[in-house]
Amino acid sequence: MDDLYREVILDHYKNPRNQGTLDPHDFSYEDENPLCGDKLRIDVRLDENKRVKEVAFTGRGCAISQASASMLTETIMGKTLDEVKQIGKDDILEMLGIELGPVRLKCALLSLKVLKAGAYGIDGQHYHDDDE
């Protein structure tokens, strides 16, 4: 049996961490994966050193996309914006601990795409998604 639905993934899906919205926030971004209708919004508050102080997400979608978002919010706590921008596809796959085909990869990476678009947007930059 493959371990796509590892206990930790099902746990984050059923009991998502940092779910909700933050108002006010330092940045917020929302996007969707039109192929499957997965939707995700991530709000972030930074401290005076531009480190992630609080983060919240809301969304709908499959277990992979929602667990990935939940796990990502835990991972980035305390990270600087630059560190957030450095997170890549491989980090997400390592975080999830599973191998994914091309279709499900989009589900897994939606949260990272949303987070980075928001992180780049705060400096007025445009985020180019290299994984597309």
| Interface ranges with other proteins (CB under 8 A) | 1-2, 4-5, 10, 13-14, 35-39, 60-64, 104, 107
Whether residue 92 contacts residue 108, with contact meaning beta carbons closer than 8 Å, is answered with yes
How far is residue 29's CA from residue 119's CA, in Å, rounded to a whole number? 9
Rounded to whole angstroms, what are the CA distances from 65 to 50, 74, 107, 130? 27, 15, 5, 18
Q: How near is the Cβ of 115 to other proteins at its closest, in Å?
A: 21
- In angstroms, how far is the first alpha carbon of the chain from the final one? 29
Which residue, 61 or 118, is less far from other proteins as judged by CB? 61
Q: How near is the Cβ of 129 to other proteins at its closest, in Å?
A: 20
Q: How near is the Cβ of 37 to other proteins at its closest, in Å?
A: 3
Whether residue 65 contacts residue 59, with contact meaning beta carbons closer than 8 Å, is answered with yes
Which residue, 20 or 37, is less far from other proteins as judged by CB? 37
How far is residue 70's CA from residue 132's CA, in Å, rounded to a whole number? 22
Which residue, 22 or 67, is less far from other proteins as judged by CB? 67
Which residue, 13 or 27, is less far from other proteins as judged by CB? 13
Q: How near is the Cβ of 131 to other proteins at its closest, in Å?
A: 18
